[in-house]
Amino acid sequence: MKGEGMRAKGLLKALAALMIGAGSGGAQADLRYNMPVGVTEVSRGVHDLHMTMFWICVGIGLLVFSAIIYSMVRFRKSAGAQAANFHENTTIELVWTIIPFAILVIMTVPAAGLLIKMDDTSQSDLTIKITGYQWKWHYDYLDENVSFYSVLAQDSNAARQLGAQIDLKSVDHYLLNVDRPVVVPIGQKIRFLITSNDVIHAWWVPDLAVKKDAVPGFINEFWTRIDVPGVYRGQCAELCGRDHGFMPVVVEAKTPEDYAAWLEAQREPKIESAAAVSAGSTLVAAR
Amino acid sequence: MTDHALVHDDHAHGPDPHFVRRWLTTTNHKDLGALYLWLSLVMFLVGGVMALVIRAELFQPGMQLVRPEFFNQMTTMHALVMIFGGVMPAFVGLSNWLLPVMIGAPDMALPRINNWGFWILPFAFALLIATLFMPGGAPAGGWTMYPPLVLQTGPAFPFLIFAVHLLGISSIMGAINVIATILNLRAPGMTLMKMPLFAWSWLITAFLIIAVMPVLAGAVTMLLTDRYFGTSFFNAAGGGDPVLFQHVFWFFGHPEVYILILPAFGIVSHIIPTFSRKPLFGHASMVYAMAAIAFLSFIVWAHHMFTVGLPLAGMLFFMFATMIIAVPTGVKVFNWTATMWRGSLSFETPMLFALGFVFMFTIGGFSGLMLAMAPVDFQYHDTYFVVAHFHYVLVPGAVYSIMAAVYFWLPKWTGHMYDERLGKLHFWLSTIGVNLTFFPMHFSGLAGMPRRIPDYALQFTTFNQISTVGAFLFGFSQLLFVYVVIKCVRGGEKATAQVWEGAEGLEWTLPSPPPYHSFTVPPVVR
């Protein structure tokens, strides 16, 4: 996954570092411990909202936990504390009901705004239909006459077998790589239609901040507009049976020119047959 | 208050001397309470072993120990066993043991229902666990039983459905008994608002159980008929809708999570005042907060389903309603804090577990608040962030409250003090273990690790290894708990009637252990 622009956030980093220190003793350079900022306007908004809520929770937590810890230290019986006898105070009870309520009301404003934006799939530039299968994805570029299946890459599939003696570090993006990624243009509003052929799946790419269930018999919609070319990886997020953990999602975002060239190439028969040979007979169905 | 049990001529008979007959046919609330608690301890250990299988496989990337299908059976069975076997029977057991002695009653109102309610459970779990040995194995579609996936279950399928039916019947009977007892058998003078908070928490919980368990039964019955009788409730090809199941299931499922936590609120509201030697702050607002949470729990269910393709208005409504739950929950945490404020605190084992509850349940509450925000939930949903969230509210939440309750009332039940040194050791080992297990899951989830996967990409390795180490520490620490409990049952320093210096309430006026039939003459509460 890309996730560039991800900055260290003080407390979160400290907590993560503490955990890593307790675990392996050495921090990995590429260790991720926070939601990626991502590569879309929406994903940045989601990340900002996530961090805002996080800091609000940290603030409230610091207040409450300090009060408890102060009580535990200051009002110890072993230190000679005498118990008071108060058990009610209407004013303070109203205060700590109304203030949290007010904070929540304020937070609903950006949350609702972002949600409304994410829900609006109108005026898209192209539409791709996704179909979930046990356990692969099928992509259909509507009106473009291009469609294909996308399955876990061969080397990952070999390495994930029980008892396989394969060094996972030698596998390219272990479990997060497919034979044919779904290729999309940057800067364009892409509408996805998603459904399933068997059980419920969920299509998720963290860098795009999109996750939607593929429900058999129903079609869901969502959209994204990617700013930066690159390869963005995700996984099926809804338990879908035995190989739920082995149906990754890989999105390759190209410039509109490269995308157009790629699309044209998909329609050429020789590419079709070459791909069919390389990826195995059951896996590719480019029309 | 005087020692009421002793001023009355004791004409009541004791337990049946024949061991099997006594435990099989008992209608006594203490016997049944003990049976429920022992069953829940056994199921807690069984579910714990399943959790350790999961964590062992996830110790490193690649598949080392089990096949993916067996991994899925473990996650499914772990949840079912822990929810319906570990936590719910423990709370029912506590209600059995404690409600009569807290409200001044001789026993529960419906003793035979009580016996039946318990003895259904071993058979239900026998059915459920037997599926592990069937062709095709145990259910592997997740405890949420979403169709169409759950319909792919092999011969285990009807056993799963029937086990869930039995568990529901048992819970409903327990709930009816609690309501009948609380509404009819309170001591003279104990008005509802004077009633101890554990009784209040259980009264509200019981209404939740009666309201939603039949809904679960309906949902799984529709699964059964879809599978065997040609209906299409959840089959789109026949005009049904798979998402309908999720709506029905979570209409049960969300109140269910409060069934698993409200009694914990009650327990903690007894323990913190006792060891603060100060009355509970805001007794009335605690009751109102629980009632508010119970009401809200019925109108937030679809926050479990933000990704299924809900209409915008639906998502906005469920997001707002969910966020509001933070207000009454916050009130409870603030009240516990205010109870400790200017108290005279000591830190015996029950208080340690209660404090652990307040701290870590609050952390789970914070992640819950974050999850409530629908646009961000798209990123959190079905990741380890969710796993971290619900384990924080269920393990150092519900389970800690049960352990706090056991340490708190064990001297009352057995007449012996438990080993304080070992109890504290158990607390600290558990607390280190539970945080090592579940805190890193926040990070792995945010970094993009989906839940319910048997194998993962290499960047999640570090956090998973920490989680596994923590899980084994937490798991094996519970053997210490078993030892402390058995040791205390078998003997130990004699406990006084009041047991704890700051303890208040009718149960502490009875001798330790209390007579077989708790209050044969109702005490008068002023």
Contact A19 B463 (CB under 8 A): yes
> pLDDT tens across B196-213, in order?
999 999 999 999 999 999
Residues 6+ apart with CB under 8 A from A31: A16, A20, B459, B462
pLDDT surpassing 50 at residue A8: no
Phi and psi at residue A213, in whole multiples of 5°?
-75, 140
**B468/B472 Cα distance (integer angstroms):** 6
Contact B457 A173 (CB under 8 A): yes
CB A45 within 8 A of CB A227: no
- DSSP element (H, E) containing A221: strand A220-224
pLDDT bracket for residue A121 (50, 70, 90): very high
Say which amino acid occupies B265: F
Interface of B with A in 8-27 (CB under 8 A): none
**Tokens for B266?**
């009650």
Q: Which one of the listed residues B95, B153, B171, B444 is annotated catalytic?
A: B171
Interface of B with A in 451-510 (CB under 8 A): 451-459, 462-463, 465-466, 469, 502
CB of A84 less than 8 A from some CB of B: yes
CB A19 within 8 A of CB A11: no
CB B384 within 8 A of CB B444: yes
**Tokens for B213?**
């368990």
Please compute the mean of the pLDDT values over residues A16-22 and round it to a whole number: 53
Q: Nearest 10 degrees: CA dihedral of B381, A102, B292, B260?
A: 30
> pLDDT tens across A269-287, in order?
655 544 544 444 444 343 3
pLDDT, averaged per 10 consecutive residues of chain B (526 residues), comes to 49 77 93 97 98 97 95 97 97 97 96 96 97 96 96 96 97 97 95 96 97 97 97 95 97 96 97 96 96 97 96 96 96 97 96 98 96 96 97 97 98 97 98 98 96 96 97 98 97 94 94 91 87
CB A269 within 8 A of CB A238: no
Q: What pLDDT is stored for residue A1 in this prediction?
A: 36
CB A194 within 8 A of CB A205: no
Nearest residue to B273 (alpha-carbon basis) of B328, B333, B345, B356: B345
How many angstroms away from the CA of A74 is the closest CA of chain B? 8
How many other CB atoms are there within 10 angstroms of residue B155's CB atom? Answer: 11
Q: Which one of the listed residues B4, B278, B304, B442 is annotated catalytic?
A: B304
Question: Is B344 annotated as catalytic?
Answer: no
Question: Is B416 annotated as catalytic?
Answer: no
Residues 6+ apart with CB under 8 A from B476: none
pTM score of the predicted model? 0.92
CB of A83 less than 8 A from some CB of B: yes
pLDDT surpassing 70 at residue A27: no
CB of A109 less than 8 A from some CB of B: no
Contact B68 A242 (CB under 8 A): yes
**Tokens for B155?**
């011969």
Question: Is B254 annotated as catalytic?
Answer: yes
CB of A6 less than 8 A from some CB of B: no
Q: What pLDDT is stored for residue A26 in this prediction?
A: 39
CB of A240 less than 8 A from some CB of B: yes
A199, A201, A223: which to substitute to probe chain B, counting the most B Cβ within 10 Å?
A199
**B73/A165 Cα distance (integer angstroms):** 25
Q: Which one of the listed residues B78, B278, B381, B391 is annotated catalytic?
A: B78
Question: Is B18 annotated as catalytic?
Answer: no
B269, B358, B458: which to substitute to probe chain A, counting the most A Cβ within 10 Å?
B458
- DSSP element (H, E) containing A191: strand A190-196
Question: Is B226 annotated as catalytic?
Answer: no
- Beta-bridge partners for A224: A190
Which residues of chain B make contact with A220, given a CB cutoff of 8 A? 308-309
- CA-to-CA separations, B184 to B99, B103, B464, in angstroms, rounded: 12, 10, 51
pLDDT surpassing 80 at residue A24: no
Which residues of chain B make contact with A61, given a CB cutoff of 8 A? 362-363, 366
Nearest residue to B328 (alpha-carbon basis) of B265, B391, B377, B270: B265
A205, A244, A247: which to substitute to probe chain B, counting the most B Cβ within 10 Å?
A244
- CA-to-CA separations, A4 to A36, A37, A228, B226, B401, in angstroms, rounded: 8, 8, 10, 48, 43
**B253/B303 Cα distance (integer angstroms):** 11
Question: Is B329 annotated as catalytic?
Answer: yes
Q: What is the DSSP letter of A22?
A: H
CB B233 within 8 A of CB B245: yes
**A235/A178 Cα distance (integer angstroms):** 11
Looking at chain B, which residue has its C-alpha nearest residue A33? B443
CB A127 within 8 A of CB A191: yes
How many angstroms away from the CA of B142 is the closest CA of chain A? 7
Three-state SS annotation for A169-189: HHCCCCCCCECCCEEEECCCC
Q: What pLDDT is stored for residue A15 in this prediction?
A: 60
Any alpha helices (H) in B104-151, and if so which ranges?
111-130
Contact B149 A174 (CB under 8 A): no
Contact A211 B307 (CB under 8 A): yes
CB B518 within 8 A of CB B29: yes
pLDDT surpassing 50 at residue A23: no
Contact B141 A239 (CB under 8 A): yes
How many angstroms away from the CA of B334 is the closest CA of chain A? 7
Which residues of chain B make contact with A200, given a CB cutoff of 8 A? 146, 148-149, 242
Q: What pLDDT is stored for residue A20 in this prediction?
A: 52
CB A215 within 8 A of CB B242: yes
